[in-house]
Amino acid sequence: MSERAARATPPLPPQPSAPINPTPRGPVPMAPTVSAVRQVHLTIDGRAVSVPEGATLLEAARETGVSQCSAEIPTLCFLESLTPVNVCRICVVDLEGTRALVPACSRKAEEGMVVKTDSERVRLSRRLVLEFLASSVDVSTSPQILDYLEQYDAHPDRFGPPQAPSATRDESRAGYHTTGTYGRQDACTTSSLDAGNTSALAATVAQPVKSDNELYVRDYGKCILCYKCVEACGIDAQNTFAIAVAGRGFDARISTEYAVPLPESACVYCGDCIGVCPTGALMFVSEFEMRRAGTWDESRQTSTDTICPYCGVGCTLTLHVQDRRIVKVGSPITNGVTRGNLCIKGRFGWQYVQIQGHRIQNSRFKMEDSRTEDPEGSSESRGDECASSKSRNR
């Protein structure tokens, strides 16, 4: 170093000899030891069963095969991929020593429990639940509920003919509901009261279908208020919170914020709500239109699992096909990555397959057509042939 540079750069002060790594102040954290899950022992329908601690009564009955001996415990609001909300109460079972029946889908198995899943009391309770549901809701597109109605010998028609649909159910106010037999009337029942039907009518949630976008319709006259769509839209899958339950009691309903149309709401059109809806209240426009035209026929449909082509996540898609056309798309909840959830592209972005297919088909016929020897050399006859090929393959 030159003398001039040594004058410009003063020497560094002495550094304290601090350790590079700070000394730990407490015990060094250790990975928790893996302890075996405790087993709990209980009796279900007279059979001794043993399940891991934390299992529900429904899991205990299903996994230990009890349901193979007695009737399967029915469920409506329960889905393996969602947090149990136990609102439908169709899964109730008789637990010895408790006053009320308990929901099997959420009640945890405990040591020494004695459970009956199909007693007379249980069957009566399920029958009533089904009758209340089916007398107030259109369950015609829910094969599951139709099966249960038969299985439990339920007669929802004993509550009388259904009330007329109401166009103002979204405006119902808490505390103003009446079935029509009492003094106060609310917007929900005005039409039937005006018609003079004030007594022997079953209160219903019948209302016009909400069709405000090109992808799916909401027919809340078919809604059993199972909360599955709310959970899928919220913390259990999508975290979008576009829909929630509004109103109270019989006026409770699924709604967007301030009941705005879907395009004005927070909805991102993932369709996860459609995937979990057990009644058909939420339906692809394609299915809705086909049902309305009378062409929907599940016996002619096939389903094929494939991989979504849009991005690297590679979600599994289940394509439902009728007459060589995709009519709706789902996703298996058993898939460990996506658990039945998709985004707008996977759920609704499949029209291009048909458009492409149509183009390919047409170009194939054009090619075949151009190769066809035309003795007359007439372009008109080629055009006719092409047109008839197209019409054959429509």
Using CB under 6 A, pick the residue from 42, 90, 154, 317 that binds ligand FES.
90
274 belongs to the binding site for ligand FES (CB under 6 A): no
Q: Interface with ligand SF4 by CB under 6 A: which range of 82-90, 149-157, 229-237, 348-356?
A: 229-237
268 belongs to the binding site for ligand SF4 (CB under 6 A): yes
Given the complex with ligand FES, which of 47 and 89 has the nearer CB atom? 89
Q: Interface with ligand SF4 by CB under 6 A: which range of 26-34, 98-106, 114-122, 222-230?
A: 222-230
CA 299 to chain centre: 22
Given the complex with ligand FES, which of 73 and 270 has the nearer CB atom? 73
345 belongs to the binding site for ligand FES (CB under 6 A): no
Task: Choose the contact partner of 152 out of ligand SF4, ligand FES, none; CB within 5 to 8 A by kind.
Answer: none
242 belongs to the binding site for ligand SF4 (CB under 6 A): yes
Query: Per-residue x/- mask for ligand FES, residues 353 to 372, rule CB under 6 A?
Result: --------------------
Minimum CB distance to ligand FES, residue 79 (Å): 9
Given the complex with ligand FES, which of 76 and 343 has the nearer CB atom? 76
201 belongs to the binding site for ligand SF4 (CB under 6 A): no
Task: Choose the contact partner of 202 out of ligand FES, ligand SF4, none; CB within 5 to 8 A by kind.
Answer: none
Minimum CB distance to ligand SF4, residue 306 (Å): 21
109 belongs to the binding site for ligand FES (CB under 6 A): no
224 belongs to the binding site for ligand SF4 (CB under 6 A): yes
**Nearest to 287, CA basis, from 242, 254, 255, 321:** 321
Minimum CB distance to ligand SF4, residue 313 (Å): 16
77 belongs to the binding site for ligand FES (CB under 6 A): yes
Q: State the SS3 of the chain.
A: CCHHHHHHCCCCCCCCCCCCCCCCCCCCCCCCCCCCCCEEEEEECCEEEEEECCCEHHHHHHHCCHHHHCCCCCCCCCCCCCCCCCCCCCCEEEECCCCCCEECCCCECCCCCEEECCCHHHHHHHHHHHHHHHHHCCCCCCHHHHHHHHHCCCCHHHHCCECCCCCCHHHCCCCCCCCCCCCCCCHHHHHHHHCCCCCCCECCCCCCCECCCCCEEECHHHCCCCCHHHHHHCCCCCCCCCEEEECCHHHCEEEEHHHCCHHHCCCCCCCHHHHHCCCCCEEEHHHHHHHHHCCCCHHHEEEEEEECCCCCCCCEEEEEEECCEEEEEECCCCCCCCCCCCCHHHHHCCHHHHHHHHHHHHHHHHHHHHHCCCCCCCHHHHHHHHHHHHHHCC
Contact between 82 and 233 (Cβ < 8 Å): no
Q: Interface with ligand SF4 by CB under 6 A: which range of 45-53, 65-73, 171-179, 228-236?
A: 228-236
Minimum CB distance to ligand FES, residue 93 (Å): 10
Binding stretches for ligand SF4 (CB under 6 A): 223-229, 232-233, 238, 240, 242-243, 254, 267-273, 276-279, 281-282
Binding stretches for ligand FES (CB under 6 A): 75-78, 86-91, 103, 105
